[in-house]
């Protein structure tokens, strides 16, 4: 199904993507078969597969924030319209039918091809990856490179993680490593160019450890919040907004009598404490400490 035929831009994108990918695939297949491989049959089979996925692969990457996605468009195929929905962690109604929302369960589901599980992992831990990137004071372009590598590595390693529950620590370690690589490379270039020796940001391991703890705690709290009934989510997000809404505004918006807002707030927070996500908080923190050397994969 080649839907891009009438569209020159899409066609040329497909062509360049093919030109880059086909030899890689051929090499990959030949390696797998160590000589015992019909290259023509393999190539035909791959092209058939590719044609069946042309729409998905050729879809231009979305550009929600005016960022230049051209370089990543050839690297990471976009899913098309399915991923363009605005991200609203508190009210998203598309939570997948995941009964067990623990990190380990999400990793297992994502390994088995459950895209919603992957999205949920991203929702939870993208902020952790991002906050570590900002610690290294990288530019937007560098951040994009770093995160690209981090997530692609995770996709690759999904089924091989030795301890899926320790994913936050794994992500943080990989992110720190990638950030350091970028920073060090920039530093070298700078020294060769100008002889200046400053502005390198090295971030201490203990800082990264703190970031992991904070990032993990925040992820759990957001997951716990998302578990609450919509009523509680609305009330708490109005109370948590910056600046917080007044009780009068909350009454006007949600119809809760002003005198009931305090008690309802307390009930919602109690529910949050009893949520399964919140219960996991203590356990996960114990298992985070996997840092040092190469992360376990």
Partner 1 sequence: MYDGWDDERLLTALSEAMKERQAVPSWFVETAKNAYAWHNIDAELAQLTYDSNID
Question: Does residue 83 bind partner 1 (CB under 8 A)?
Answer: yes
**Measured from the CB of residue 194, what is the shortest distance to partner 1 in angstroms?**
31
Minimum CB distance to partner 1 smaller for 62 or for 177: 62
**Measured from the CB of residue 193, what is the shortest distance to partner 1 in angstroms?**
29
The C-alpha atoms of residue 268 and residue 196 are separated, in whole angstroms, by 55
Neighbouring CB atoms inside 10 A of 156's CB total 10
13, 102, 108, 123: residue in contact with partner 1 (rule CB under 8 A): 123
Q: Restricting to residues 87-106, which ones interact with partner 1 according to CB under 8 A?
A: 87, 89-90
Coil, strand or helix at 163: coil
Contact predicate 221/273, CB 8 Å: no
Catalogue the long-range contacts made by 134-137 (C-beta closer than 8 Å, 24 or more residues apart).
135/179, 135/201, 135/203, 135/207, 135/208, 135/211, 136/176, 136/179, 136/180, 136/182, 136/183, 136/201, 136/203, 137/201
Contact predicate 182/138, CB 8 Å: yes
- Spatial CA neighbour of 78 closest among 62, 64, 67, 65: 62
Q: Restricting to residues 216-245, which ones interact with partner 1 according to CB under 8 A?
A: 217-219, 221-222, 225, 236-237, 239-240, 242
Contact predicate 174/296, CB 8 Å: no
How many residues bind partner 1 (CB under 8 A)? The answer is 74
Minimum CB distance to partner 1 smaller for 207 or for 240: 240
Question: Does residue 272 bind partner 1 (CB under 8 A)?
Answer: yes
Minimum CB distance to partner 1 smaller for 177 or for 265: 265
Minimum CB distance to partner 1 smaller for 85 or for 201: 85
Q: Restricting to residues 10-39, which ones interact with partner 1 according to CB under 8 A?
A: 25, 28-29, 32-33, 37-38
92, 131, 245, 287: residue in contact with partner 1 (rule CB under 8 A): 131
Buried b (16+ CB within 10 A) or exposed e, 70-107: eeebeeeebeeeeeeeeeeeeeeeeeeeeeebbbbbbb
- Spatial CA neighbour of 119 closest among 88, 156, 77: 88
2, 18, 76, 105: residue in contact with partner 1 (rule CB under 8 A): 76
Q: Restricting to residues 46-75, which ones interact with partner 1 according to CB under 8 A?
A: 46, 49, 56, 61-65, 67, 69, 72
Minimum CB distance to partner 1 smaller for 32 or for 210: 32
Binding mask 150-189 for partner 1 (x = CB under 8 A): -xx-xxx-x-------------------------------
77, 104, 105, 296: residue in contact with partner 1 (rule CB under 8 A): 77
Question: Does residue 141 bind partner 1 (CB under 8 A)?
Answer: no
Question: Does residue 42 bind partner 1 (CB under 8 A)?
Answer: yes
Q: Judge if the upstream peptide bond of residue 121 is cis by omega within 30 degrees of 0.
A: no
**Measured from the CB of residue 57, what is the shortest distance to partner 1 in angstroms?**
8
């Amino acid at each position: 199904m080649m839907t891009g035929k009438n569209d020159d831009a899409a066609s040329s994108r497909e062509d360049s993507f093919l030109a880059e990918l086909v030899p890689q695939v051929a090499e990959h297949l030949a390696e797998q078969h160590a000589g015992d491989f019909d290259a023509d049959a393999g190539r035909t089979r791959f092209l058939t597969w590719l044609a069946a996925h042309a729409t998905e692969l050729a879809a231009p990457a979305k550009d929600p924030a005016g960022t230049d996605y051209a370089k990543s468009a050839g690297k990471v195929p976009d899913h098309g319209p399915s991923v363009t929905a605005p991200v609203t962690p508190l009210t998203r109604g598309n939570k997948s039918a995941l009964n067990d929302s623990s990190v380990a369960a999400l990793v297992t589901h994502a390994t088995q091809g459950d895209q919603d599980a992957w999205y949920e992992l991203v929702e939870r831990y993208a902020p952790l990856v991002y906050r570590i990137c900002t610690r290294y004071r990288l530019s937007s372009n560098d951040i994009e490179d770093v995160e690209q590598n981090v997530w692609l590595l995770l996709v690759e390693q999904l089924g091989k993680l030795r301890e899926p529950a320790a994913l936050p620590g794994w992500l943080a370690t990989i992110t720190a490593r990638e950030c350091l690589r970028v920073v060090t490379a920039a530093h070298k270039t700078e020294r060769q160019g100008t002889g200046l020796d400053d502005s390198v940001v090295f971030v201490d391991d203990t800082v990264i450890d703190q970031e992991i703890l904070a990032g993990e705690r925040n992820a759990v709290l957001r997951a716990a919040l998302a578990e609450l009934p919509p009523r509680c989510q609305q009330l708490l997000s109005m109370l948590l907004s910056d600046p917080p809404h007044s009780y009068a505004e909350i009454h006007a918006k949600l119809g809760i009598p002003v005198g009931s807002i305090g008690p309802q707030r307390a009930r919602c927070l109690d529910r949050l404490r009893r949520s399964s996500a919140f219960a996991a908080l203590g356990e996960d923190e114990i298992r985070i400490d996997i840092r040092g050397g190469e992360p376990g994969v």
